[in-house]
Structure 1
């Protein structure tokens, strides 16, 4: 980046009234580095949660010191990725919740969760960092929103009544496990299997009862216990 003389005033474009001021050169570069680090960390750790932080720095095209200035430990980086995944889950659920038709709301929600790949992020990283109160609050919010969408669809008689809130994480997990070929092919295959899952989730008078009970909350929560 070209240097300025000590006497020169930095030229900053004025922002429209009410808009945030543009970032300075160094702050803008730091923001770009942070975005590159998080994008690379998602790819690296979803593929291999045991990968070293150096692999993230290499994939992001930044120096290891720049990464450690922003995230002093791998655990902090994983915790941030999980927060981002939970926030995206809440956003997807919020968008689906306002769809008027109960079935379309449920289908939009399931497709959105799979498209965003947020469950890959949260489940793959579970147990590898200490959850904070923010993680717990977001997880509770995500669960409540998903449960509300499911309950609305069941009240309308369009989703089978024997599906519970605790079944849904297993459905997401099955769908986000689909990884084959490049990103476009993976997305294509996931869309195929989302529709297959949705057909199985539809309420039908002749549907056989599901075998066995759904997973217990304790079974689902066990994966989030921090493994030192």
Structure 2
């Protein structure tokens, strides 16, 4: 008799958790110094509900970064199990990491909280996989050997910094410039049609309009 109400409470808790994490990502990647109350407000949940799940801002930041690292690991492992064309496997890895947008967390949150042992372990795993994905592409002769793992990490951060328009437009532009980057990294170099239109003057100019 009591299983249905419990199931409902669990479902509501899961929905609240998802809302909190989405809000936290948006709030803290925009302003790492924002108070945790700003997350509750954006998520539309009470501050007590947030604190029941995450007792501190530090815990919330740890959760965000842990989720980002797990997604990075998942994308990397999927690339390494792809037995098809070596370049397409590497390109799928690049596109997957750009879509995961874990680099936005790196840019904004690195150095703002104390990593846990679990995060150190996840980071080491993600780093090892990045080296393996890179090494496989170089060994297959499809990636320029002078492009390093660190080069690719910084390219991800450059793409993550593109935030014109809403989420859909930003994603479109990130993939446009990812395609440019991939064409220059590929062996032999490729020249493909770029996805999405180039940014308009109005899109660039809106960055100078005062907020609020």
Q: Which range, TM-score by smaller chain?
A: 0.7 to 0.9
Q: Does 1:102 align with 2:107?
A: no
C-alpha contact 1:85 1:122 (8 A) present in aligned 2 = no
**1:112 equivalent in structure 2:** 96
TM superposition shift of 1:23: 5.5
Equivalences for 1:73-152 in 2 at 5 Å? 73-99=56-82, 100-152=84-136
**2:2 equivalent in structure 1:** 10
Higher helix share: 2
TM superposition shift of 1:198: 0.4
Q: Secondary structure at the match of 1:105?
A: helix
- Tell me how large the CA RMSD over aligned residues is: 1.7
**1:6 equivalent in structure 2:** none
* Alignment counterpart, residue 199 of structure 1, candidates 180, 183, 191: 183
TM superposition shift of 1:74: 0.8
Q: Does 1:164 align with 2:156?
A: no
C-alpha contact 1:37 1:60 (8 A) present in aligned 2 = yes
Aligned length: 188
TM superposition shift of 1:140: 1.1
C-alpha contact 1:180 1:186 (8 A) present in aligned 2 = yes
Change (3 A) 1:177 1:63: same
TM superposition shift of 1:184: 1.1
| Runs of 4+ residues over 3 Å off in structure 1 | none
C-alpha contact 1:40 1:60 (8 A) present in aligned 2 = yes
Equivalences for 1:22-101 in 2 at 5 Å? 24-99=7-82, 100-101=84-85
**2:194 equivalent in structure 1:** none
TM superposition shift of 1:44: 1.1
Structure number with bigger Rg = 1
Which structure 2 segments of 5+ residues have no match?
A: 190-212
Structure 1 window deviating more from structure 2 (27-36 vs 152-161): it is 27-36
**Structure-2 separation of matches of 1:203 and 1:55:** 47
C-alpha contact 1:40 1:59 (8 A) present in aligned 2 = yes
**Structure-1 separation of matches of 2:152 and 2:117:** 23
Q: Secondary structure at the match of 2:141?
A: coil
Which structure 1 segments of 5+ residues have no match?
A: 1-8, 13-21, 206-228
TM superposition shift of 1:158: 1.1
